[in-house]
Chain A
Amino acid sequence: MPVKGQTASGPLLAVSNLTKLFGSFAACNAINLQIEPGEIHALLGENGAGKSTLVKMLFGVLAPTAGEIAWQGEPVRVASPSDARKLGIGMVFQHFSLFEALTVAENIALSMDRNVSLARVADEASRLSHAYGLPLDPKAHVADLSVGERQRIEIVRALLQNPQLIILDEPTSVLTPQEADRLFETLQKLKAEGRSVLYISHRLEEVQRICDRATVLRHGRVTGACDPRAETPASLARMMVGSDVAPVTPEGTNIKGDVQLEARHLSVPARTPFAVSLKNICLKVRAGEVLAIAGVAGNGQSELFDALSGEYPVADDNAVQIRQRPVGTRNINARRLMGAGFVPEERHGHAAVAALSLSDNLVLARSQSDKRAFLGGGFLKIIRQSAVKAATRRISEAMDVRKSGEDPPAGSLSGGNLQKFIVGRELDRQPSVLVVNQPTWGVDAGAASRIRQALVDLAKAGSAVLVISQDLDEIFEVATEIAVISEGRLSDPYPAWELSREKIGLLMGGMYAKTEGAGAAHAH
């Protein structure tokens, strides 16, 4: 698939003095950036540095306040995504935009600027997806697909427009390592064809692995450019954050208290045709412990979270115990009142409501657990805005949440900053039980280490912490115990020091047969 219309030399895209103001806040401040044909260009920066804002301007989703964009040497105005697609720019967003009830082919057809028959789209998509090693079934319903497969739809959708520049905003934060490796092969293919890629990621190892050049943003300004291959992850992190990233120091004590969170033979039938059923899950988390649950996404993690949090109470009251009291049938607020806190995986529309202010989003999680402080007026339950705003300020400071204004809508925060707020919202209560699903996805290296440290510290202070995560680095950094979830079953827990990546890998791939196999191999 050769690229047509390629001019001989000069940058493919040149951005000069590009600026975006939100009110008086400069999310992007006089940015200069050049992308050469056939390079994979990394865009690095801490949460809220302005990366997504910059690429949204390149793709015509946001209108720049000032500055110029030149495409193949010509100044252009990108007023809308269809303008961008016409120029030859394709984009895969940080948050997907797919219709779950539609098929893959229908979703792709929706984004096409032309009237093309569905059959054509399906043919073309499956041909492209094979050519680039992104297998997809055009007739599958999106709701049935894993996050990795959904992302492939977005990529194939972008490729169908035959773009010369493909922008990927944090494509790997939701992928398994295997899925990420596949993506890198695709990117290499694209590069070999002379296309350019603009790549945003917080995972510095992969930036080093696949990117030719990197531009670093801080507080909306370009603060440096480098050849990532000549750097180390630590030096890249320093360029982004401006200081060294503190390593997480694991717990110092081995004192373990009483069991604070327990699941006893927890079985939950699948709620929808696309959900996973939980099968006889047993787990115990003591005060002072961090139990990490590893596993490939879509193996029952969110269902387990729902059952533990009480968003969907279960039939058997004894199946879930918080501080040794049965709560299986109790709702989420009853569990919060017993000292538990919860951080779901999905930020938008689950942990937070994008259109509401941060302080409203604080009330969202804490209206009952903090009703003395936050509610007044007796049965009228008037929300005490001053108390809520003060707590919002406190959390934002503690977690270093960067935002444009005192109390902006949650949707205007960068992904990572919203995540910091959502985690901080629970930590601020000092919960005695904390259940968190994917604590750091989309969070920059500095903030991720701070969040992980906070989880470790919370356990050290005597709370029981359950972390569900796909990220093995994270798991090894925080966990005292590790268990693996696969197809709705949970393995026995192992002390963290006893497990290696390989052993976790074995446990992930259907543990029953393989743990026995591994156990047998040990015995010999």
Chain B
Amino acid sequence: MRIELEKRAQVSALFSILSPFIAFALTMIFGGIMFALLGKNPAIALYSFFVEPLSEVWSLHELAIKAAPLILIGVGLSVCFRSNNWNIGAEGQFIMGAIAGSILPVVFYDWQSPMVLPMMMVLGMLGGALFAAIPAFLKAHMNTNEILTSLMLVYVAQLFLDWIVRGPWRNPQGMNFPETRTFAADAILPEMLASGRTHWGFGFAIIAAVLVWFMMRYTLRGFEITVLGQSARAGRFAGFSSRKMIWFSMLFSGALAGLAGIAEVSGAIQQLRPVISPGYGFTAIIVAFLGRLNPLGIIAAGLVLALTYLGGEAAQLSIGVSEKVTRVFQGLLLFFVLSCDTLIHYRIRLVWERLAAIKTDGSH
């Protein structure tokens, strides 16, 4: 047997719009089945997973805090993916941005100045961009596959973080815990709203999304990204360079991932630890696709995926399932988003015939 995808004669406009919603509904259904198999009441479980976290002001702030890195990274990745460059290593760039941005509050901790915070943000972006420069260089000049190199560099970044917080940057007053010293007040990203904890990382995310949306929609740079993503040859005819685009898109997404990293550390954690991300860099890939690679869609998708993190924590407390459930929901969602999109363009055909001979058919 063989499975074939056959292009549909007509693509339904309605279903193209509905696709993310159908994917979300299917995720709910399968999530419900999973809870039932775990012996929980699906209705209650889904309620505590997806609704309860939205019912209080403080948890809405938590939602924004979790959504901020997802949106920031997702927006950067959308530029990358649209230009046909596949940066899968945002998680690593996030970590390197966090480390680079932490140089000031950890190493030069006694330097106090209102300049510290902006410089940390810039350093964070630099750190992420430089780390993304490695796969960019390898792809642009050695023709290596950026999916593999950027992914493998994630582990390098994670181990580097682990080493630096246990070794050189460990807090001397920290009773040997693997942590850096906590940041001084002027190295902490302030809160955005009076009502709660949401820090400026969320503001950065919204600003970045709107700016990138504007760039993609109205400017020649956005046009260049679209053209090179569709056809490198046509891009060359337009005078655009695929190689420069590799650099631009990788550095750009790396910088936003780095900014997300330092904003998370400076706004939410306020020190470096061996693990600073529950996989934001990977989850942001789902965010980018669920948002249709559209920066405004990515804001919405970022909030949805942030909810899966909160829901996981909530469900762990209220109904006692593992917070790994979060991962399951994220996986389901990505799976359904991609398959809905595929099924809109293709129909599936199962081909059963075996080895039927051409001979009998084309009797010569």
Contact B219 A2 (CB under 8 A): no
Within 8 A of B (CB), among A102-123: 113-117, 120-121
Chain A nearest Cβ from B198, distance in angstroms: 30
Q: Which B residues are in CB contact (< 8 Å) with A365? A: 237-238
CA distance A363 to B226 in the complex (A): 12
CA distance A465 to B230 in the complex (A): 30
Q: Which B residues are in CB contact (< 8 Å) with A355? A: 230
Q: Which B residues are in CB contact (< 8 Å) with A161? A: 361-362
Chain B nearest Cβ from A2, distance in angstroms: 7
Contact B353 A364 (CB under 8 A): no
Chain A nearest Cβ from B7, distance in angstroms: 8
**CB-CB nearest in chain B for A128:** B362
From A4, A128, A383, B220 is in contact (CB under 8 Å) with A383
Q: Which A residues are in CB contact (< 8 Å) with B233? A: 346, 349-350
From A80, A116, A344, A375, B9 is in contact (CB under 8 Å) with A80
Chain B nearest Cβ from A373, distance in angstroms: 13
In the assembled complex, A63 has its CB within 8 A of some CB on chain B: yes
CA distance A332 to B240 in the complex (A): 9
Most chain B CB atoms below 10 A, which of A2, A80, A82, A114 = A114
Q: Which B residues are in CB contact (< 8 Å) with A344? A: 237
Q: Which A residues are in CB contact (< 8 Å) with B351? A: 113-115
Contact A82 B6 (CB under 8 A): yes
In the assembled complex, A325 has its CB within 8 A of some CB on chain B: no
CA distance A131 to B364 in the complex (A): 10
Contact B223 A353 (CB under 8 A): no
In the assembled complex, B143 has its CB within 8 A of some CB on chain A: no
**0 or 1 for each of A45-81: is its CB under 8 Å from B? (1 = yes):** 0000000000000001111000000000000000111
Given A82-B6, A351-B237, A116-B219 contact (CB < 8 Å) = no
CA distance A331 to B362 in the complex (A): 53
**0 or 1 for each of B157-199: is its CB under 8 Å from A? (1 = yes):** 0000000000000000000000000000000000000000000
Chain B nearest Cβ from A132, distance in angstroms: 11
Q: Which B residues are in CB contact (< 8 Å) with A368? A: 239
Within 8 A of A (CB), among B307-364: 347, 349, 351, 353-359, 361-364
In the assembled complex, B218 has its CB within 8 A of some CB on chain A: yes
CA distance A1 to B363 in the complex (A): 6
In the assembled complex, B51 has its CB within 8 A of some CB on chain A: no
In the assembled complex, B141 has its CB within 8 A of some CB on chain A: no
CA distance A419 to B79 in the complex (A): 31
CA distance A311 to B9 in the complex (A): 36
Chain A nearest Cβ from B65, distance in angstroms: 32
Contact B358 A353 (CB under 8 A): no
Contact B353 A367 (CB under 8 A): no
Q: Which B residues are in CB contact (< 8 Å) with A162? A: 361-363
From B221, B227, B357, A364 is in contact (CB under 8 Å) with B227
**0 or 1 for each of B209-230: is its CB under 8 Å from A? (1 = yes):** 0000000001111010011001
Given A4-B363, A113-B353, A353-B234, A381-B221 contact (CB < 8 Å) = yes
Q: Which A residues are in CB contact (< 8 Å) with B236? A: 311, 332
CA distance A81 to B347 in the complex (A): 12
In the assembled complex, A382 has its CB within 8 A of some CB on chain B: yes
**CB-CB nearest in chain B for A366:** B238
In the assembled complex, A8 has its CB within 8 A of some CB on chain B: no
Given A344-B237, A365-B237, A383-B219, A353-B353 contact (CB < 8 Å) = no
Contact A381 B220 (CB under 8 A): yes
Contact B362 A350 (CB under 8 A): no
From A120, A333, A382, B218 is in contact (CB under 8 Å) with A382
CA distance A356 to B362 in the complex (A): 42
Contact A383 B362 (CB under 8 A): no
Contact B237 A383 (CB under 8 A): no
Q: Which A residues are in CB contact (< 8 Å) with B227? A: 353, 356, 364
Chain B nearest Cβ from A341, distance in angstroms: 12
Contact B10 A1 (CB under 8 A): no
Q: How would you classify the secondary structure of chain A's contact residues: helix, strand, loop or mixed?
A: loop
Most chain A CB atoms below 10 A, which of B230, B231, B361 = B231
Contact A352 B234 (CB under 8 A): yes
Contact A311 B237 (CB under 8 A): yes
Q: Which B residues are in CB contact (< 8 Å) with A4? A: 363
Contact B218 A353 (CB under 8 A): no
Given A349-B234, A364-B238, A383-B9 contact (CB < 8 Å) = no
Q: Which A residues are in CB contact (< 8 Å) with B238? A: 363-365, 367
Within 8 A of A (CB), among B1-21: 2, 6-7, 9-10
Q: Which B residues are in CB contact (< 8 Å) with A1? A: 362-364
Given A62-B10, A63-B9, A160-B362, A331-B234 contact (CB < 8 Å) = no
Chain A nearest Cβ from B82, distance in angstroms: 12
Contact B223 A383 (CB under 8 A): yes
Contact B9 A350 (CB under 8 A): no
Given A351-B237, A352-B234, A382-B219 contact (CB < 8 Å) = yes
Q: Which B residues are in CB contact (< 8 Å) with A356? A: 226-227, 230
Chain A nearest Cβ from B165, distance in angstroms: 41
**0 or 1 for each of A450-461: is its CB under 8 Å from B? (1 = yes):** 000000000000
From A80, A124, A377, B362 is in contact (CB under 8 Å) with A124
CA distance A311 to B227 in the complex (A): 15
Contact A116 B358 (CB under 8 A): yes
Contact A120 B226 (CB under 8 A): no
From B231, B349, B354, A115 is in contact (CB under 8 Å) with B354
In the assembled complex, A303 has its CB within 8 A of some CB on chain B: no
Q: Which B residues are in CB contact (< 8 Å) with A127? A: 364
From B2, B9, B226, B231, A61 is in contact (CB under 8 Å) with B9
**0 or 1 for each of A226-260: is its CB under 8 Å from B? (1 = yes):** 00000000000000000000000000000000000
CA distance A115 to B357 in the complex (A): 9
**CB-CB nearest in chain B for A120:** B358
CA distance A115 to B227 in the complex (A): 38
In the assembled complex, A360 has its CB within 8 A of some CB on chain B: yes
Q: Which B residues are in CB contact (< 8 Å) with A342? A: 237
In the assembled complex, A380 has its CB within 8 A of some CB on chain B: yes
Chain A nearest Cβ from B353, distance in angstroms: 5
16 pairs of residues in contact across A and B, judged by CB atoms under 8 Å: A4-B363, A79-B9, A81-B6, A113-B351, A114-B353, A114-B356, A114-B358, A116-B358, A124-B358, A124-B362, A332-B237, A349-B233, A350-B234, A353-B227, A367-B223, A381-B219
Further pairs besides A62-B9, A162-B362: 7, Cβ < 8 Å: A61-B9, A117-B355, A350-B233, A350-B237, A360-B226, A365-B237, A381-B221
In the A-B complex, the 8 residue pairs with the smallest Cβ-Cβ separation, listed nearest first, are A333-B239, A381-B220, A63-B9, A162-B362, A349-B231, A364-B238, A114-B353, A1-B364
